[in-house]
Amino acid sequence: MNKQQNILIIGAGLCGSLLALRLAQRGYNVSIYEKRPDLRKVKMSAGRSINLAFSNRGNKGIKLVELEEKIKALCIPMKGRMIHDAHGNTFQSNYSGKSHEFINSISRRDLNVLLLDEAEKHENVNIYFNKKCKSVNFEKTTALFKDYSTQTEFVEDADVIIATDGAGSAMRKSYYLEKKFLFSFSQNYLSHGYKELSILPKTPGEYQLEKNALHIWPRGDFMLIALPNLDGSFTVTLFLSYHDGKYNFNNLAEENDVLEFFQNEFPDALAIMPNLLGDFFKNPTSPLGTIKCTPWHYKGNTLLMGDAAHAIVPFYGQGMNASFEDVVELDNILDKNLSTWEEVFQTYEHQRKQDTDAIADLAVDNFHEMKDHVANPIFQEKRKLEMAFEQHFPDAYASKYALVTFNENMGYHEAMLKGRAQDKAILNLLNDGVIAYPNTVNLKTLKPILEKVKTETNAILDDNRIAGLNY
Amino acid sequence: MNKQQNILIIGAGLCGSLLALRLAQRGYNVSIYEKRPDLRKVKMSAGRSINLAFSNRGNKGIKLVELEEKIKALCIPMKGRMIHDAHGNTFQSNYSGKSHEFINSISRRDLNVLLLDEAEKHENVNIYFNKKCKSVNFEKTTALFKDYSTQTEFVEDADVIIATDGAGSAMRKSYYLEKKFLFSFSQNYLSHGYKELSILPKTPGEYQLEKNALHIWPRGDFMLIALPNLDGSFTVTLFLSYHDGKYNFNNLAEENDVLEFFQNEFPDALAIMPNLLGDFFKNPTSPLGTIKCTPWHYKGNTLLMGDAAHAIVPFYGQGMNASFEDVVELDNILDKNLSTWEEVFQTYEHQRKQDTDAIADLAVDNFHEMKDHVANPIFQEKRKLEMAFEQHFPDAYASKYALVTFNENMGYHEAMLKGRAQDKAILNLLNDGVIAYPNTVNLKTLKPILEKVKTETNAILDDNRIAGLNY
């Protein structure tokens, strides 16, 4: 584990480039191989600046490499959800009752460029583009690449290989296909896919919707969302079933079908999307999948990180944040000065796996919650109550969403257990008439309600613990 | 869906041969292709007659094909678990407080022979051995086979292909590898593997242990079990971690290690296992895996059934029973006279999938329960109480084990929800001192305890339902 060791990273996406930067700061010799061209040298068309939700856990990784100030310039704060109903009415629902708790829209490309630029400032970092990893020999710690420029194949040797090559990871495929050890693996698709669309600026830089919000058009079985970009555009994503319901990706085959669908369901969005049909038929429909696996590492030779180890669906906005937190967690373990990479990787997986499993499950839960509970009055009353708790007792209450998104020092697994227990407590106390949203909302009226919620939450956690349940 | 259609079944194991027999009874033309030789023509060595737990759900399939009487001759009733402690003391714990509720040990080979013989009595059934399925073209409804006798490959066409080719299903691999539709898939291994051993008869037909019991040597992190065979032998299975603990499969490398392990942990078993070392080093160590996937079918062309669709770990003794229940469920749907195979397969999967997912999860739960709770007094008190409930209130109470094993008209999923809620209720009521195992056990002392358990169980189910939880 001396600092002159050569670390080969497969994939120069967000996780790989942050990891490379951090390992370079720690003194390792880092080579990154990326199958795509250098995105700093490739033009992207207008309205195609895909963005992501960047929040507290992601920021831990950014702080680690001391880029907090530079990132801020790329971020558009989103204080809450702007809900658009079927008649075009809107109302805002903040992410938290605490004003300093919000999430950010950030361009995947801008963030990746920054991380690559910063990594390349280190002379112990080399980045190679257009080199696609085809397989990894995890016993010899070598990787086979195809050079897209020359159409030749070559093998690279390293002391350690870390694959951050995303949900379709080539190294994970080698783990799976080689059958040299017992590899637990799952890929689980939702019934729904997604398609990216866009709302362009009215004039350059002029937003057609409220800039500082994540816009949602929830319709139960499907929904549209929009996140702002720095250029005044919004990236819009349609989540829709492949096969089921009156409208689905399979039967939206003709231009008129798509127009009718948007006219009926999203009229206010359609009015500012003259480019809808072009986007709809040009852009692919992509699946929504969860990937889990174990072990992530083979001895001390190779390690999967980021989406390569745990791809999740986007309904908590935590994909990139979880990957950045991976880098922070690995870095913490490197601080322990363990004597072998095998110990590092084992410790890392042992500590991290339950958290990435939890955020994967939470994200799928949220897909169902958004579909099923959007019209459920008891869920809406719960949300109102939680917002009031967060406003009036900022230090004493955090909702499941806030535990996951804003309480970055609590692991996802603990956030899941506590968040689920709180939800269950509030829903049942409301249902049983033990509590209700007060007519007058103030510290005095809320306090006894919060106490009941806390007592019930703890009782639920105790009951589960005694029964040996861990979910 | 006319009755002259040709149905090709891949795999002549237990599920495939029961399915073939039932479809033949319904009038279809059935061809089965099996990769192994005809087991009726192959000799097996003494002590290698691998056996299985056969219980009520499996018997539903046997009743369907009217073989109940013939099966009985192959069954050895096991009334309960015979627990062997580390000092060689034994005590019996019945499977149920109801005397007619027991499970059976049955030889996999004898059962398979019976089903093959019965299937072959139908002239519309043809069975081909030594034909290994290599892949399935599910769009053309053809299968590629390799003939092990001639070493040639050939393609078979059919109206419908049903794969019952077990956990390593070739058709499931085709679904996975072809990537022509979104295929959700998981393979999850436990930390433990298993190895088959044997206890031979003292003299032919003379059992060295109680015949009518499933013997268990529970040791927390590992265990030995033994099931009786008709010839007086027992098939013994060692469940042990691959890597962890003082003793594990990785470090039991020398004869002395194995002897020391058995001497320290299973001295009474060792005394009747002179053949231990031969068995141990001859027989493979095999993994314990759970497989889930969806969809099981491709249009109306192909369908996965049995272990090919849902392989489970053996800790509930339900693997074969679940596969036989698959045949019953499919048969029920054929009774509906739907107009296409696609509707049949869709309806079947829609009804069946949540139940096979549930038994898969229950079986993994039981692995952990057996490891973690063997020395937990509150779990033991729960078990005593449940036995008393079942004895004194046979119509009013069934434990989770009994719901799964003996209540064959309740689906696995409902059994799981109810069984888990009951467990949680009893454990918490005991822990909180609300109930206790009575000093005098009779109808009068048990009745109020049972009422409290039922009330609490219903409250738990209600609370979960209100919170939208389904586990």
A286 touches chain B (CB under 8 A): no
* C-alpha–C-alpha distance, residues A438 and B98, integer Å: 53
Q: Do A466 and B431 touch (CB under 8 A)?
A: yes
- pLDDT value at residue A324: 98
With beta carbons less than 8 A apart as the criterion, state whether A307 and A330 touch.
Answer: no
Task: Tell me the CB-side half-sphere exposure of residue A133, using CA atoms within 13 A.
Answer: 29
B242 touches chain A (CB under 8 A): yes
pLDDT of A230 higher than 50: yes
Residue from A200, A208, A41, A23 nearest A118 by CA: A23
Q: Do A471 and B471 touch (CB under 8 A)?
A: yes
The CATH architecture annotation of domain A6-75+105-186+288-367 reads 3-Layer(bba) Sandwich (3.50)
Q: Do B185 and A182 touch (CB under 8 A)?
A: no
With beta carbons less than 8 A apart as the criterion, state whether B52 and B319 touch.
Answer: yes
- pLDDT value at residue B4: 77
- pLDDT value at residue A142: 98
Instruction: Read off the pLDDT band of B2 (50, 70, 90).
Output: low
- pLDDT value at residue B468: 85
Nearest to B468 among A184, A188, A373 (CB): A373
- pLDDT per position as a tens digit, B189-211: 999 999 999 999 999 999 999 99
Residue in B with minimal Cα distance to A182? B189
A295 cis-preceded (ω within 30 degrees of 0): yes
Shortest distance between the Cα of B427 and any Cα of chain A, in A, equals: 6
DSSP state of A285: P
- pLDDT value at residue B46: 47
| Stretch among A377-386, B298-307, B418-427, B457-466 having the lowest mean pLDDT | A377-386
Q: Do A468 and B188 touch (CB under 8 A)?
A: no
Mean pLDDT of chain A: 94
B177 touches chain A (CB under 8 A): no
Shortest distance between the Cα of A400 and any Cα of chain B, in A, equals: 14
* C-alpha–C-alpha distance, residues B322 and B59, integer Å: 10
pLDDT of A282 higher than 60: yes
Residue-by-residue DSSP string for A71-94:
HHTT-EEE-EEEEE-TTS-EEEEE
With beta carbons less than 8 A apart as the criterion, state whether B404 and B413 touch.
Answer: no
B188 touches chain A (CB under 8 A): yes
- pLDDT per position as a tens digit, B35-73: 999 999 987 654 455 899 999 999 999 999 999 999 999
DSSP state of B40: T
Shortest distance between the Cα of B106 and any Cα of chain A, in A, equals: 30
Instruction: Read off the pLDDT band of A369 (50, 70, 90).
Output: confident
Shortest distance between the Cα of A190 and any Cα of chain B, in A, equals: 9
Phi first, then psi: what are they for A84, rounded to 5°?
A: -110, 115
With beta carbons less than 8 A apart as the criterion, state whether A220 and A237 touch.
Answer: no
Residue in B with minimal Cα distance to A193? B182
Shortest distance between the Cα of A186 and any Cα of chain B, in A, equals: 4
Q: Do B287 and A466 touch (CB under 8 A)?
A: no
- pLDDT per position as a tens digit, B127-146: 999 999 999 999 999 999 99
Q: Do A467 and B423 touch (CB under 8 A)?
A: yes
Nearest to B185 among A186, A369, A428 (CB): A186
A467 touches chain B (CB under 8 A): yes
- pLDDT value at residue A47: 43
Q: Do A424 and B467 touch (CB under 8 A)?
A: yes
Nearest to B372 among A423, A468, A469 (CB): A468
* C-alpha–C-alpha distance, residues B63 and B56, integer Å: 10
With beta carbons less than 8 A apart as the criterion, state whether B12 and B129 touch.
Answer: yes
Q: Which of B176, B186, B370 to mutate to test the interface with A (most CBs of A within 10 A)?
A: B186
Residue in B with minimal Cα distance to A469? B424
Please report, for residues A199, A252, B23, B26, the alpha-carbon distance to residue B4 in angstroms, rounded to integers and kept in the order given. Answer: 57, 38, 11, 10
Q: Do A184 and B187 touch (CB under 8 A)?
A: yes
- pLDDT value at residue A302: 98
Average pLDDT over residues A240-262: 96
DSSP state of B377: H
DSSP state of B274: T
Sign of torsion over alpha carbons A200, A203, A205, A208: negative
Shortest distance between the Cα of A432 and any Cα of chain B, in A, equals: 10
Shortest distance between the Cα of A286 and any Cα of chain B, in A, equals: 10
- Cα torsion A197, A199, A203, A208 to 10°: value is -170
pLDDT of A389 higher than 60: yes
* C-alpha–C-alpha distance, residues B12 and B174, integer Å: 19
* C-alpha–C-alpha distance, residues A82 and A377, integer Å: 19
Amino acid identity for residue B295 in this structure: P
Could you report how far apart the first and last alpha carbons of chain B are, in Å? 37
Residue from B189, B186, B188 nearest B285 by CA: B189
3-state SS class at A367 = helix
- pLDDT value at residue B380: 86
Judging contacts by C-beta atoms under 8 Å, the chain A residues touching residue B369 are 468
Please report, for residues A188, B138, B160, the alpha-carbon distance to residue B176 in angstroms, rounded to integers and kept in the order given. Answer: 12, 12, 19
Q: Do B184 and A182 touch (CB under 8 A)?
A: no
Nearest to A372 among B378, B423, B468 (CB): B468
Residue in A with minimal Cα distance to B182? A189
Contact map slice: B 389-428 vs A, CB within 8 A: 423-424, 427-428
* C-alpha–C-alpha distance, residues B457 and B434, integer Å: 14
Nearest to A427 among B368, B378, B466 (CB): B466
Amino acid identity for residue A77 in this structure: P
A-B contacts (CB, under 8 Å): 69
| Stretch among A401-405, B217-221, B266-270 having the lowest mean pLDDT | B217-221
Residue-by-residue DSSP string for B307-373:
HHHH---STTS-HHHHHHHHHHHHHHHHTTT-S-HHHHHHHHHHHHHHHHHHHHHHHHHHHHHHHHS
- pLDDT per position as a tens digit, B384-413: 999 899 999 988 999 999 999 999 999 999
Shortest distance between the Cα of A233 and any Cα of chain B, in A, equals: 32
Residue in A with minimal Cα distance to B461? A428
Judging contacts by C-beta atoms under 8 Å, the chain B residues touching residue A427 are 466-468
Q: Do A185 and B186 touch (CB under 8 A)?
A: yes
Judging contacts by C-beta atoms under 8 Å, the chain A residues touching residue B194 are none
3-state SS class at A62 = helix
Average pLDDT over residues A52-59: 97
Q: Which residues contact B365 (CB under 8 A, 6 or more apart)?
A: none
Judging contacts by C-beta atoms under 8 Å, the chain A residues touching residue B373 are 468
* C-alpha–C-alpha distance, residues A300 and A139, integer Å: 10
With beta carbons less than 8 A apart as the criterion, state whether A329 and A351 touch.
Answer: yes
- pLDDT value at residue B369: 84
- pLDDT value at residue A376: 81
pLDDT of B346 higher than 50: yes
β-bridge partners, B53? B105
Residue from A275, A290, A50, A75 nearest A187 by CA: A290
In which residue are the tokens 């995105």 written?
A: A39
Domain boundaries, chain A: 6-75+105-186+288-367, 188-287, 376-466
Instruction: Read off the pLDDT band of A49 (50, 70, 90).
Output: low
Average pLDDT over residues B222-229: 96
Q: Do A423 and B467 touch (CB under 8 A)?
A: yes
Shortest distance between the Cα of A164 and any Cα of chain B, in A, equals: 21
- pLDDT value at residue B374: 63
pLDDT of A451 higher than 90: yes
Residue-by-residue DSSP string for A418-438:
HHHHHHHHHHHHHHTTS----
DSSP state of B155: E
- pLDDT value at residue A448: 97
**CATH class of the region B6-75+107-186+289-367:** alpha beta
B186 touches chain A (CB under 8 A): yes
Angular region, A232: left φ>0, alpha ψ -120 to 50, beta rest = left
pLDDT > 70: percent of chain A: 97
B287 touches chain A (CB under 8 A): yes
Shortest distance between the Cα of A180 and any Cα of chain B, in A, equals: 13
- pLDDT value at residue A469: 82
Complex ipTM value: 0.92
- The encoded tokens of residue A177 equal 């296909």
Mean pLDDT of chain B: 94
Nearest to B184 among A188, A423, A464 (CB): A188
Q: Do A186 and B186 touch (CB under 8 A)?
A: yes
pLDDT > 90: percent of chain B: 88
B355 touches chain A (CB under 8 A): no
Average pLDDT over residues B237-245: 96
B467 touches chain A (CB under 8 A): yes
B342 touches chain A (CB under 8 A): no
Judging contacts by C-beta atoms under 8 Å, the chain B residues touching residue A184 are 186-189, 289
Residue in B with minimal Cα distance to A426? B467
Instruction: Read off the pLDDT band of A99 (50, 70, 90).
Output: confident
Please report, for residues B244, B335, B359, B385, B416, the alpha-carbon distance to residue B407 in angstroms, rounded to integers and kept in the order given. Answer: 37, 23, 13, 19, 12
pLDDT of B462 higher than 60: yes
Average pLDDT over residues A65-83: 96
B466 touches chain A (CB under 8 A): yes
Q: Do A467 and B187 touch (CB under 8 A)?
A: no
